[in-house]
Chains A and B, each alone.
Chain A
Amino acid sequence: MRIYLLILLTLLLAACRHEAPRQPEPAFYYWKQSWTGNPLELQYLQQLPAKKLYIKMFDVSPDAGGKPIPVAVFRQQAPLPQGQPLVPVIFIMNEVWAQLKDTAEITAFTGKTSRLLEDMAMALPDRQIREVQVDCDWTQTSSSPYFQFLTTLKSQPFFRDKTLSATIRMHQVKYRTSSGTPPVDKGLLMCYNMGDLRKAGDHNSILDPATMKAYIGSDRISNYPLPLDIALPLFSWTVLFEQGQYKGILRNIGAAELDNRELFIPQGKHLFVVKNDTLFNGYLLRKGSELRRETTNIELLKSAASLVAKQKQDYNPTIIFYHLDAATLKNYPLHELQETYRLFH
């Protein structure tokens, strides 16, 4: 009898897999066009402490004639920090792929992109660029040219010794078969903008745990064929709807402004209804229009982080906070950000 008990115990002990704790690395994303050396931003960078700084170098979008051109090219108006490695990022609008008709055009486009990226990377203080990232919300139709672009890019001399990463959005994790997996070294899972921004209604399109759960399921992250870094949102915005139609994002109308009961009637969890026609902070607001205040707060962030952290890959993820912006950071004391990324241990 005792021997059986011993065997049982041994088996049980063996079954308890001792998982080594992960070492997540925190980082920040810088998405603005000019680096101005804002003191608060520098402080957060130093004290998080961020292990990397992702900086968007330029966007690519089609011009009036359909040709892809670089826009919003990064300008350094103050010295960049020396404390962490820089990761240059480029954002490519999905519409670009429809304009590139064949392999020759894709190759030419890749050459231009890589040359410009290389020139800009050389101008950065940290010449030892170890990773480069591409951000593109590709679709099933554009997956072929986009993946071709990535493969060609990786074969360029500048990229050969560097890690190439690509952003992966929630729907691309869920519908992995139809979306495909980009031919890169690793991915960055964007845990935000998972709802439908342009759909009217009382939801939070930036971050909603229930929606996220539907996308990531119980193992879609852990089973994803690429190692995934994780991007978490810190931002908020107000969305305007007129008669159920999406009108745009209002840049300077936040919680404080919406507190004005003379102008805005709260309705539901995120909605405010405009009481009277008014010109407010430069925006013309019509009576009856709806403003939806979408925010992220630390509770939401932690609950989303916990969900994602449960699905472990055999990899130490970089946890990137989007984005490094003084106005946004004011809402997040450093220790709360630290608690959040530690959830990924």
Chain B
Amino acid sequence: MNYKKLIVFSISFLAVFFGNIIYILSCGGGEMDPYDYYISYFNTYLKGQGYEPFYFTSLSDYYDEATPDETTVNVQDWRNYAGDKSVSTDDIYRYIYKFSREQVAQIADCSTKGQNCSLADSAKNNSFALYLANPKHQEAARYLLYAKDCENIVYNPDPWVERGDQSGAMGDLYEEGKGLLANVKDKDIAQRYKFQLLRLTHYRKMYRETVEAFDRDFGKAGNGNLIYNKALALKAGALYHLRDTVNAAYLFSKVFAAEPGLREMAFLNVKWTHTAAVDIFPLCKNNKEKANAVALYSFQIPSVDFTGLRMAYQLDPGAAVLSAMLTREINKLESELLTPRVAAMGDSAGLSLGYYSYSYFNQDAEGISYRDSATALQRFVDDVAQKGKVQDPDFWKVSAAYIAFIRNDLSGARSRLEKYPVKDPALKDQWELVNLLVTLNEQKRLDAAFEAKLLGSLKWLDTKLGQINPDGYWYASDKNLFFNKAMRNILATVLAPGYHRQGDYTKEALIRARCAALHLGVPPYDAVNMVKDEMSAEKLIALYDFLRSGNKTDYEKYLVAYFPKDISMELAIGIAYMRVNNFTAALPWLKKSPVKQQPVSYQVWTDQLQDFGEDTADARHRTPITASQFCEEMVRLLNLTKKPPVSAAVYHKIATGLFNISYYGKSWSMLKDYRPSTLWYTASCEKDPFERQYFGVYDAEIFYTKAAQAATDKEFKARCLFLAARCAQKHVPENKDDKLYYLSLMRNRYFPVLATNYNQTAFYQKVYGQCSYLQDYVSETRRKK
């Protein structure tokens, strides 16, 4: 066995196999879902419409688009302008956002000429086009053509084309627009022209002129519609470029307050001003504006901190934005307080829940500041819920109960739930969910009586599940899949660990199966993995008997319906027995399992002078050997060992079978679906009977030794001794000192007898050339002499 060769092989294997992947990971990819990286039971979409970009996620810049977005509002404004019932918003949308310049030009032309011109089909089928084609509406039709022309100059439709400075083209358009505006009588159309002209001024970097133009054309109006707000944003931007950052920030905050579709833009622009809320307070006209400013700046803060929320509430308790701010604080506490606690509870049950690396998390030292923050938030929310001055009092009541749950104050949560029944239907579901969570956590033991109640809750959750889009490229957000996530979290982080702690592995497997059936993210292992990797034969038999038993409770029947049908429990049990070398017990189970599903080997009976390699059919190994056949042969051989005298060949064959199904053998797939190349024997393997054999190959060594003792042929004896030496090498304890580790490998207990008594055999000559440990041992011995 050549240590050096192995290292080279491993590194090359790893490098070739993983080299690309490692490098890709180090440059990107392997990232967490920005909407699902912590345990959350609080729906971000409950209250807070219009502030969707600012829902909490610390892994993504913005959460979602605001409602209503700019397109929707613009289309609605045109609909209101038209005032004609026959004009549909769909058609308006298509006309403005999808029609080409040619199509729009044709309509404008028809409208201006006033004759019955023939329209293209696309226009004939569009109610808004027909409306515009009417000469009565020619101002609107002409305007939309002008707007289209501006769009093509103001935005570069093709990023691959460097257009250079567009000031000339913009100047021309400006003059054209001015001319058109002079003849417009309709106030709304005039306002839109003024907006376009304003934008062309701003984009030509004429900032003073932009400010003047806004004050002149929009200053008095202030009717707060979309066009006005877009114009206001242009003035604010101009002020920013003129270095008047405070005024700019103030105006952007007004845009932020007025127009959901422009909030993201206003928020980003305020960040550029590098101001704080207090900087713009002197400009705010009233407390409402101050509260809005506080809210805006608070959205910049990703850490637990409700100072802004408290201040905004004191300034304007009726503000709509408070709900969005409160939701953020709750989500932050879910991330910083709830998730670590649940993860720690999972760890204590021996289950890693997969929420990122809290292994270094020191609960007492770090968690303290979050617990204090949570307590302070609780007091604040309780106070607000009681006073009831806010826009969504029911929302604050449910929040108060949920915050108590986050703080692990279950009785506090329970009392608040009872004190605050909710009427708002949107919040009823959230109330029910919090209620369920409290009940689950209050329950000390998951027994049959509780399970009967739990069934109702699980079925209720089923009615709330959303449809997963199979083509969905991006991650799930709370909008459609909130209850799917909640159910998955309850199953994977509460119920499964709960049953595991109780020692009820059957139920744990059933819960995991139900969880996997949600197809939403990956808990550390699902039922299939559990059956194949985590359960001993005894536990599997218990599960097997349960699945076949006749009298199941309704709860059990519900769960069993989700249990995967294509797992062969018999095969799993057989392999579980094989793993602990109990071939006698394994055999009857393997005989019952479907042959097609059994692992197959070709070379399991051929001893290996080197580790690893592929177990494939070749000229010398044509016969497939199923697990069942392998087991049968092992049982037969083991029975032969009970009737002395036992031939060396029998012992040798047993040992070979045992070695070859170990981690180092070619036939490891008899016992495992997957063998990563990065595992090795460690001291902790001694604790687990499977790992002891899989990594330590103790029994294989014993049988090779017996084979050596029983053998008469010197060559064969040497062979068996060497094979035993290979096994002994596997369970050498690890040592941080590389030199000492190498020495312990070199001083293999079988080398003395091999080197002394068998060094004349042909076999010894062959392996001496291959095994550097043996060579080094021999040199060391020679030196000592």
Is A162 an interface residue when CB atoms closer than 8 A count as contact? no
Q: Are B360 and A244 in contact (CB under 8 A)?
A: yes
Is A150 an interface residue when CB atoms closer than 8 A count as contact? no
Is B23 an interface residue when CB atoms closer than 8 A count as contact? yes
Contact indicator per residue, chain A 238-267, by CB within 8 Å of chain B (1) or not (0): 000001110000000000000000000000
Q: Are A196 and B26 in contact (CB under 8 A)?
A: yes
Is B25 an interface residue when CB atoms closer than 8 A count as contact? yes
Report if A171-B358 is in contact (Cβ < 8 Å); known contacts: A115-B160, A199-B26, A284-B302.
Answer: no
From the candidates B23, B159, B302, B362, name the one contacting A70 in the complex (CB within 8 A): B159
Cα(A174)–Cα(B15), bound, Å: 10
Cα(A277)–Cα(B365), bound, Å: 11
B130 CB, nearest partner CB in chain A, Å: 33
Complex: chain B residue closest to A66, CB-CB = B473
Residues of B within 8 A of A178 (CB): 16, 19-20
B637 CB, nearest partner CB in chain A, Å: 44
Is A287 an interface residue when CB atoms closer than 8 A count as contact? yes
Residues of B within 8 A of A284 (CB): 302-303
Is B357 an interface residue when CB atoms closer than 8 A count as contact? yes
B window 161-181: CB within 8 A of A: 161-162
Q: Are A171 and B360 in contact (CB under 8 A)?
A: no
Cα(A115)–Cα(B158), bound, Å: 12
Q: Give the number of residues in A that approach B within 8 Å (Cβ atoms).
A: 31
Tell me which of A13-21, A45-53, A137-145, A326-334 binds B. A137-145
B4 CB, nearest partner CB in chain A, Å: 16
Is B619 an interface residue when CB atoms closer than 8 A count as contact? no
A window 123-167: CB within 8 A of B: 123, 137, 139-141
Cα(A244)–Cα(B302), bound, Å: 20
Report if A243-B360 is in contact (Cβ < 8 Å); known contacts: A115-B160, A116-B160, A116-B161.
Answer: yes
Q: Are B369 and A245 in contact (CB under 8 A)?
A: no
B308 CB, nearest partner CB in chain A, Å: 15
Size category, B interface: 20 to 34
Complex: chain A residue closest to B303, CB-CB = A284
Is B356 an interface residue when CB atoms closer than 8 A count as contact? yes
B window 1-58: CB within 8 A of A: 15-16, 19-20, 22-28
Q: Are A119 and B358 in contact (CB under 8 A)?
A: no
Is B366 an interface residue when CB atoms closer than 8 A count as contact? yes
From the candidates A69, A73, A115, A140, name the one contacting B20 in the complex (CB within 8 A): A140
Q: Are A243 and B358 in contact (CB under 8 A)?
A: yes
Q: Are A198 and B26 in contact (CB under 8 A)?
A: yes
B21 CB, nearest partner CB in chain A, Å: 9
Contact indicator per residue, chain B 491-529, by CB within 8 Å of chain A (1) or not (0): 000000000000000000000000000000000000000
Q: Are A95 and B26 in contact (CB under 8 A)?
A: no
Complex: chain A residue closest to B361, CB-CB = A243
Residues of B within 8 A of A113 (CB): 160
Complex: chain A residue closest to B362, CB-CB = A288
A176 CB, nearest partner CB in chain B, Å: 12
Cα(A191)–Cα(B369), bound, Å: 44
Q: Are B361 and A141 in contact (CB under 8 A)?
A: no
Cα(A277)–Cα(B27), bound, Å: 28
Cα(A69)–Cα(B365), bound, Å: 47
Cα(A94)–Cα(B15), bound, Å: 19
B340 CB, nearest partner CB in chain A, Å: 10
Residues of B within 8 A of A286 (CB): 366
Q: Are B162 and A141 in contact (CB under 8 A)?
A: no
Cα(A73)–Cα(B162), bound, Å: 9
Cα(A123)–Cα(B165), bound, Å: 13
Q: Are B366 and A70 in contact (CB under 8 A)?
A: no
Complex: chain B residue closest to A116, CB-CB = B160
Q: Are B20 and A287 in contact (CB under 8 A)?
A: no
Cα(A245)–Cα(B59), bound, Å: 13
Q: Are A112 and B160 in contact (CB under 8 A)?
A: yes
A163 CB, nearest partner CB in chain B, Å: 24
B window 346-381: CB within 8 A of A: 356-362, 365-366, 369
Is A120 an interface residue when CB atoms closer than 8 A count as contact? yes
Residues of B within 8 A of A139 (CB): 20, 23-24
A window 154-206: CB within 8 A of B: 171, 175, 178, 196-199
Listed A/B pairs (9) with beta-carbon separation below 8 Å:
A69-B159, A70-B160, A115-B160, A123-B162, A137-B23, A137-B27, A197-B26, A198-B25, A243-B356
Interface residues of A (CB under 8 A from B): 69-70, 73, 94-95, 112-113, 115-116, 119-120, 123, 137, 139-141, 171, 175, 178, 196-199, 243-245, 277, 284, 286-288
7 A-B pairs besides A69-B160, A70-B159, A198-B25 with CB distance below 8 A are: A116-B162, A178-B19, A178-B20, A243-B359, A243-B361, A277-B369, A284-B303
**7 tightest Cβ-Cβ pairs between the two chains A and B:** A112-B160, A139-B20, A69-B159, A119-B162, A196-B26, A243-B357, A198-B26
